């Protein structure tokens, strides 16, 4: 018969009612059970199941692209997603914005003592499903448990690995005067979805996070007019305003936008008015901004609109020769205003 300690080692976690305790991060049997019952089961990754402290990957030809991001969103579950879905999609998008095809992710968890195992399993399952939907694997990671009150539930850090074709160079300093600016869809959905749950706000139409993996859309754009794409960015924290100001500073150009061309869902616009927010400053997690040579704008726009995640894509402006690197916008009333960086923290803990 198996020894008592062997039976204890194989005992499954109580995923329905159990909670994380400090032993789950101490390196012993409890930690192994947590990793196997929650993460191995959710990710179904052969590299992870091997039990090593690293993963060995065979990469296709090209240049390796790596990006790391941390996720501390509050609340952890929000309309349209959760912190796990956000961690996978957000890091995939950071890799994709360089024109790379994502290959694998790593994931590190900092979990607060007392966190419900059911919620941890829900997050892990969400991550596993998102990774499989994107055609990638979560191949290695780390788990730490901290004392109660030290981590606000769970924090996740992910690193994405991708491969970009040789010769493709999409960089933030590549915009040129005259280039077209294309936005893949409506702005503000994610930030407003998180805030509505945090503040217990309800609207006639539920506002959902737009979190999505964009590498398929990027691949379609690259196939249509890859050499004419100057750069891509996903307008996350700080929203469209911060993204375009950042590009302007890197490329030493200005931008001229049309307010009427920038799509904002009516319910998001109404929520922003209620909350005193500018949709241009609100985070997105499933949109991209493309700066492309003017002559290729039509081809890129058509390729985007042919993809499910780019059906609402629009040309929203163009780059200008401006030594001051201002982002300006023609308003719907025919006037103009400067679209500046966000001052302070408008929406804390949204990603």
Cα gap 187→241, rounded to integer Å: 11
What does the alpha-carbon distance between residue 324 and residue 174 come to, in Å, rounded to a whole number?
Answer: 17
Among 6-15, 124-133, 221-230, the minimum mean pLDDT is found in: 6-15
Mean pLDDT of the chain: 93
Give the sheet arrangement for strand 229-233, strand by strand.
229-233, 289-292, 180-183, 314-320, 254-258, 327-330, 336-338
At residue 11, the pLDDT reads 67
- What does the H/E/C string look like for 222-237? HHHHHHHEEEEECCCC
> How far is Cα 189 from Cα 282, in angstroms, rounded to an integer?
8
Which residues are CB-contacts of 258 (< 8 A; sequence separation ≥ 6)?
316, 317, 329, 330
State residue 6's pLDDT score: 46
Of the candidate CATH numbers 3.30.910.10, 2.40.50.140, 3.30.1330.10, 3.30.1360.120, the domain formed by 3-164 belongs to 3.30.1330.10
Q: Would you kindly state where each structural domain of the chain is located, as residue ranges?
A: 3-164, 180-338
Which residues lie closer than 8 Å to 349 by C-beta, 6 or more apart? 72, 73, 74
Fold of the domain built from segment(s) 180-338: Phosphoribosyl-aminoimidazole Synthetase; Chain A, domain 2 (3.90.650)
Those residues with Cβ within 8 angstroms of residue 188's Cβ, 6 or more apart along the chain or in another chain:
239, 264, 265, 268, 269, 272, 277, 279, 282, 284
CA separation (Å) from 343 to 64, 170, 172, 242, 281? 35, 28, 22, 10, 10
pLDDT at 82: 98
22 pLDDT higher than 90: yes
Contact between 47 and 53 under an 8 Å Cβ cutoff? The reply is no
Provide the strand spans (E) within 53-93: 63-71, 77-78, 81-82
Q: Give the pLDDT score at 10.
A: 55
Spatial separation of the C-alpha atoms in residues 280 and 166, rounded to whole Å: 34
CB 87 within 8 A of CB 286: no
CB 184 within 8 A of CB 310: yes
Considering only 24-38, 85-99, 292-306, which range has the smallest mean pLDDT? 24-38
What are the φ/ψ torsions at residue 329 (nearest 5 degrees)? -135, 130
SS3 302: helix
Query: pLDDT tens across 133-175, in order?
Result: 999 999 999 999 999 999 999 999 999 999 999 989 899 999 9
């Amino acid at each position: 018969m198996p020894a008592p300690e062997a039976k204890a080692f194989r005992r499954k976690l109580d995923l329905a009612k159990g909670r994380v305790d400090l032993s789950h991060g101490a390196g012993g049997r409890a930690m192994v059970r947590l990793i196997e019952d929650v993460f191995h089961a959710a990710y179904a990754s052969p590299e992870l199941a091997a039990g090593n402290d690293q993963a060995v990957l065979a990469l296709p030809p090209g240049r390796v692209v790596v990006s790391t991001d941390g996720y501390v969103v509050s609340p952890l579950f929000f309309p349209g997603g959760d912190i796990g879905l956000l961690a996978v999609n957000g890091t995939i998008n950071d890799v994709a914005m360089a024109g790379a095809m994502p290959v694998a992710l790593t994931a590190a968890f900092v979990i607060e003592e007392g966190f419900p195992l059911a919620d941890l399993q829900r997050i892990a399952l969400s991550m596993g499903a998102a990774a499989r939907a994107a055609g990638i694997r979560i191949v290695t990671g780390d788990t730490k448990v901290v004392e109660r009150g030290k981590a606000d539930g769970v924090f996740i850090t992910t690193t994405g690995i991708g491969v970009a074709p040789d010769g493709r160079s999409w960089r933030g300093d590549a915009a040129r005067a005259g280039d077209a600016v294309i936005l893949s869809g409506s702005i503000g959905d994610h930030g407003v979805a998180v805030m509505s749950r945090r503040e217990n706000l309800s609207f006639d139409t539920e506002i959902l996070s737009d979190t999505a993996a964009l590498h398929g859309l990027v691949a379609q754009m690259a196939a249509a007019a890859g050499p004419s794409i100057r750069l891509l960015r996903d307008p996350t924290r700080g929203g469209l305003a911060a993204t375009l100001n950042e590009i302007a500073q890197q490329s030493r150009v200005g931008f001229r936008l049309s307010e009427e061309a920038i799509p904002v869902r009516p319910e998001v616009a109404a929520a922003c008015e209620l909350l005193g927010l500018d949709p241009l400053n609100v985070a997105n997690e499933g949109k991209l901004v493309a700066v492309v040579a003017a002559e290729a704008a039509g081809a890129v726009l058509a390729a985007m609109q042919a993809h499910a995640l780019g059906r609402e894509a629009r040309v929203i402006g163009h780059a200008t020769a401006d030594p001051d690197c201002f982002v300006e916008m023609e308003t719907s009333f025919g006037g103009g205003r400067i679209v500046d960086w966000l001052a302070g923290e408008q929406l804390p803990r949204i990603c």
